[in-house]
Structure 1
Amino acid sequence: MGLWRRLAWIVAVLVASLAPVAVPASGQSIMERLITPGLLSAGHARLESQCDSCHSSFRKEAQNGKCLACHKGIATDLATGSHFHGKFAPARGTCKACHSEHKGRAAGLIRFSRIGFNHAFTDFALTGAHARVDCAGCHGTVHNYRGVPRDCASCHARKDPHRGQLGRACQTCHTSAAWKPVQGFNHAATGFALTGQHRAAACLSCHAGQRWKGLGTGCAACHARDDAHRGSRGANCAQCHTTAGWKQASFDHASTGFPLLGGHAEAACAACHGAGNANRHPARTCISCHARDDAHKGQNGTDCASCHNPRSWKQTSFDHDRMTGFALRGVHRTTRCEACHVQPPKVASPPVTCFGCHARDDVHKGANGMDCGRCHTAVSWKSSSFNHDTMTGFPLAGAHARARCEDCHGTSGLRSATAVECVSCHAKDDVHAGRLGKDCARCHDSTAWKGRVRFDHDLTRFPLLGRHAAQPCTVCHADRTFASKGTACQDCHADLHHAGTLGQPAQCRTCHTASDWRAWRFDHDQATSFKLTGKHQGLICSACHKRPGDPAQLGARCVDCHRRNDPHRGGFGEDCERCHVTTGFREILMNSKR
């Protein structure tokens, strides 16, 4: 029998076997149902019986034209080089490279991930705050991409605080970097140029209630409530003030015979003249204004200028080093006078010994005597000249050098002896709870309690190789007992991925190494009697090994795995390999010898 006669006979048998089957509502012919690779997606379901809507017989190159004939918007994008399909080079290839059909009704035609999408390939590059907005904020949760408008007002109309009074061209004043502050608007075009503090003022501080027209341009129009003079100086504020600062007046106070120097130049006018300039000619002596500020309560007289000057009330010209027998050194020089002079100097002088003033500050509670100067200086109370390395038998190294004295010596005084073994201080810090003994120095040093462990795991029955070497100890030794956990993979790694389908207990080392769990190596052709050929190559293990058990017990016949896929439903027996090969289920090889 010739080849063509045999093929005709096969087609006749197949047609005869399928003839009683009812024609589905889609209207496909028997031959169409024979050759179709699967159902169309829901979006193309209406074309199920119209193959020529998307395909041209024996002309694959015509398929793109069929797609673009329906999707005219995409065709325009490709022709004009606009939108995503026109700008993204891979999108200018064949449509089916990205949009696969015949995957079933539930399959999606658009294989698209919003994560990491480069929006620059569209006609709207994401800049500023737009780059941080979730995709659904503009596109919603469905595939709405081409129909989204690009003008500001289309998205932000509901958030427009101006309620449309300033039009829809938001970009005139705002940018995508941030809705606030406003940039780009030229206020000088309104006839009122913004200078000084006006430039930094918020828009609504003048345009309250979104009022943009009919505002006065005189100072008093906005600042009448801020007028400290309450109108007594008139409404022409610009005579003395400028927009650089409300408190920066151009009035020359020296013309009154009392130049404003030092702190006086920074004082508010009302501080001396009272509210509304009620006191137009205040007295000029220090005590007349500063009697309430006199920390000496008048005990040092009324001639404040003998020690103080206008530059700073706290900066005195009194020379403590020269005029007393106690030169001020270190922190004493920056200490307030009343900190030592609790009583006026004429009543009682403070002590000149360290302990005389600092007895309450002595953390040793007198246990180290009263000669503070042996260890401390006036530069800093916490800076001690005591040398622990040379004056004791315990040099301070690592973290010990940064520890406070009382951390080890407590509050009983530095003269009390302290044990030098690690555990004497760190027993409470021992995460092993004493189970590894008291010799902490076997693994730890004083540089850092954590991260400087000297234990060599390679000297145990389980050297740390690959990924194991980078793991913190507690990943395996969570209970911190550091006892042996076993050396088999399954002692730490539960077989969650294969779930027992490759044998129990799991022999992880057969395929995996410690270098990388995912870099497995298993040669199915050499290690088993079932060589992987054709479509079997590249399958994941679970495609065949689905149930727990010994993999060697799986059958090697086609029907053992593909019984449910048999379109003949057993009509041609179970010896599938008589006609089929592993390179493709649809590739039929008639073996006349069988």
Structure 2
Amino acid sequence: MRRALALLWLLCLCLATPVTAQTIMERLVTPGPLANSHAKLESNCEACHSSFRKEAQNGKCLSCHKGVASDVASGTKFHGRFGPARSSSCKSCHSDHKGRNNGLIALNPSTFNHALTDFTLTGAHQRVKCAGCHRGNDFRGRPKDCGSCHAATDPHKGQLGRACQTCHTTAAWKPVQGFNHASTGFPLTGAHAGKACMSCHAGQRWKNLPATCNSCHAKDDAHGGSRGTNCASCHTTASWRAATFDHATTGFPLIGGHAAATCAGCHGAGNANRNPSRGCYACHASNDSHKGANGTDCASCHTPRGWRQISFDHDRMTSFSLKGAHRTASCQACHKQPPKVAKPPATCFGCHAADDIHKGSNGQDCARCHQVTAWKAVDFNHNTMTAFPLAGKHAEAKCEACHARPAREVKLSGQCSACHAKQDPHAGKLGGDCGRCHTAAAWTGSVKFDHDLTRFPLLGKHAALACTACHADKSYAAKGNTCAACHADKHHAGTLGTPAQCQNCHSTSDWTAWRFDHDRQTGFALTGKHKGLVCSACHARPGNPAQQGTQCIDCHRRHDPHRGGFGEDCERCHTTSGFSEIIVGARRIKS
């Protein structure tokens, strides 16, 4: 009784004090001294609090901390990206009234996710202590460019700007990675690519360097300048010894045996013959075994690879191109007499009548079925010579597998079922046009039916299932397009409605990866003790969840210590945080 009277007296004092001034109650219930940064507000509760209006406190905080307010509003930086910072009260992280030395920033370096800021930590940054970049409580507005932090350690003294990341990575300053030297107009190739930067940029000289070979390598010129300064005309960046003078630039490329000849072999000692003749006979008359009988154009038959490499081009120099087995035949095999005396026939049958096992019954156009590679290489083109192109397994089948009788006597149907009716697992229920789903590659493993064109597109784990996983009888009749049509409600047993509306929580990706937003998808937001409960804690009996009562007494009648003495409107005094927390006026009191 005395406690009730005391509370009533305090309530009267509060009501008697103007709401704009600090009430006696506020002075009496102050939890403790403010932190140093808020010490000047010690006597001005209204600066952070509005009497009997807890919901206004965040606005008070953000009105002072405008930078944080801007981050929350724009969804940037830590307070804008960290969900609880946007939805919870400021004091849940920045609690005050704990003494002057209390730090308002409760930050745990070991668990803080720096990726929620505008600067993700990578490489060596991940090993740096917070104080290495953040002095004191300076956690907002730190610069993000490399130069702002590393200017003092920049060996280039700012000559190459502040964008260190164009050459360096956060892994380490060395080795330099990512810089494309080709962007300077001087790509690094050969031995240049492996050189250290300072071997060319001595003394940190980065601008106006000469780009000619001789400007750097004059001291390495074994010719003493006698061949000019254009080193690249013979040498490459691979090495000095890799001389690559391109003789083709003279109009006479060196190929075959010429490529292995020494310069003096054609140009004489000391380059005495600067411009030797380019005709074969001028150099090789002494090598002509024909003694000039075939003329002086050696190249019409011979090649630079060697005199014995004969290259008479029968394809180009006659009207009968040599292909297949013809190309390996000796000249005498066809030319029984010299070509000027008698030309051999140009038709297959003219030479191969004796080889015809058909004895002329299939005509004289041997090439219609046979190839020039060999007689047994039969190449009847079923694709172009009939109305039934052979694809997949058909192309591998032997002729007699389909043509049990001569094709002239029995013309086969082009429909799949004409040959494969006995192999039809659907027993004809899907018609005879097997090609709608199957291909000629194989009956199984290459089914091309597009289930996405039906009323039930295959998504998630459905896409990987075999057809018979759902259509066990192979009739492929409609099974229904709801989850409940295939999946019995074994887990919830009807407690979330019948038939089960699985798609409200689950997806086709994974049963266990469910997601249901009770606050948004129902009219009953989960707060306090309700938050985090398993579904079956409230939905224990079969029935439609939407028809379940939403009053406290609907679930907690047996928990009512008043036995109905104060009615059924529990929320007048109690909160979802716990039955022991009672609301008296605007205050929450633990009973």
Shorter-chain TM band: 0.3 to 0.5
TM-score by length of 1: 0.47
